[in-house]
Structure 1
Amino acid sequence: MSEFLQHLPVFIQAHPILSMAFVGILFALISLEASRLFRGYKEVTPAQLTQLINKENALLVDVSPQADFDKGHIPTSRNVAMAQFDPEHKDLAKVKELPVAVVCRNGQTSSGAASRLVKAGFKKVYTLGGGVAAWTQADLPLAKRK
């Protein structure tokens, strides 16, 4: 290890661009992990979401567009378009103490809704990592609207 530390300054001087790229990537990874730690909601797998629904009676909110929701959604989920999503709505305010899981098609949009729920004072907020696509990939059932 000490030999490595002795050669490190020489390497940094010989490869400054490579060294700066390493520091930049390291900083990005650390900041990404720190933001995940302090965001206030947790990302769950399809199996963990199933447990939340079955054991803790979690409310499932799907923020996918109506057309996507109609094509296939997780059973018991309620569709609320992201444009109409309001954490301060009276129906949502009633369930502030229950776990609330937010899902979307691929797991990208749901994080914005989850952040808004956390800011509104919800304590148990979850997102489905990978969204409905991950749910489907796990061979779990989808409900469809006709």
Structure 2
Amino acid sequence: MDFFINNWILILAAFVSGGLLVWPLVTRGAAGSTVSPSEAVRLINREKGVVIDVCEPDEFAKGHIKDARNIPFGQIESSAQLPSNKALPLIVVCATGARASRAAATLRKAGYQNTHVLAGGMAGWREANLPVEK
């Protein structure tokens, strides 16, 4: 018992660091997995992944991933632009990734189980020096 009393700071630090390690695994299930830009390119090229850009049309016009389908976040549930094959990988992207995470959760509820969020959004895509269409 004296060990716990004398080393409470170390024990607290161990629990906090363990929680930080487990947190991404806990939060990943709701919104699907997060993929890097290079992994997104692999999904697009090798597994016929479909890019769903949930930005507003004016944001989309400023720059987007080639062949991305623009479905604003507010229309994601009722859009006819979503692929009918729910097994295809979907890469959901927005400017920073915040809207994309929520959209991915909505898509998973609609039956699209192979849904991924682009890490960093379009900012991450540009940072990786990948092509952008206007």
What TM-score does the superposition give when structure 1 sets the normalisation length? 0.76
| Cα displacement (A) at 1:76 | 0.7
| Cα displacement (A) at 1:33 | 3.1
Unaligned runs of 5+ in 1: 1-8
Output the CA distance in 1 between the equivalents of 2:20 and 2:68.
Answer: 33
The alignment partner of 1:92 has SS state of coil
The alignment partner of 1:136 has SS state of helix
Alignment partner of 1:78 out of 49, 69, 84: 69
Change (3 A) 1:139 1:131: same
Change (3 A) 1:31 1:51: closer
Superposed, which structure 2 residues align to 1:1-146 within 5 Å? 10=2, 12-14=4-6, 16=8, 18=9, 21-22=12-13, 25-26=16-17, 28-39=19-30, 41-86=32-77, 89-92=79-82, 94-144=84-134
The alignment partner of 1:109 has SS state of helix
Unaligned runs of 5+ in 2: none
The alignment partner of 1:61 has SS state of strand
Output the CA distance in 2 between the equivalents of 1:57 and 1:116.
Answer: 21
Indicate conservation of the 8 Å contact 2:71/2:79, yes or no. Answer: no
Change (3 A) 1:81 1:40: closer
| Cα displacement (A) at 1:133 | 0.7
Runs of 4+ residues deviating >6 angstroms: none
Change (3 A) 1:131 1:40: closer
Output the CA distance in 2 between the equivalents of 1:93 and 1:84.
Answer: 14
Q: Which moved more, 1:90-99 or 1:112-121?
A: 90-99
Q: Over alpha carbons, which structure has the higher Rg? A: 1
Q: Which moved more, 1:74-83 or 1:40-49?
A: 40-49
Indicate conservation of the 8 Å contact 2:71/2:81, yes or no. Answer: no
Indicate conservation of the 8 Å contact 1:82/1:113, yes or no. Answer: yes
What TM-score does the superposition give when structure 2 sets the normalisation length? 0.82
| Cα displacement (A) at 1:58 | 1.3
Q: Report the equivalent of 1:6.
A: none
> What's the C-alpha RMSD, in Å, of the aligned pairs?
2.4
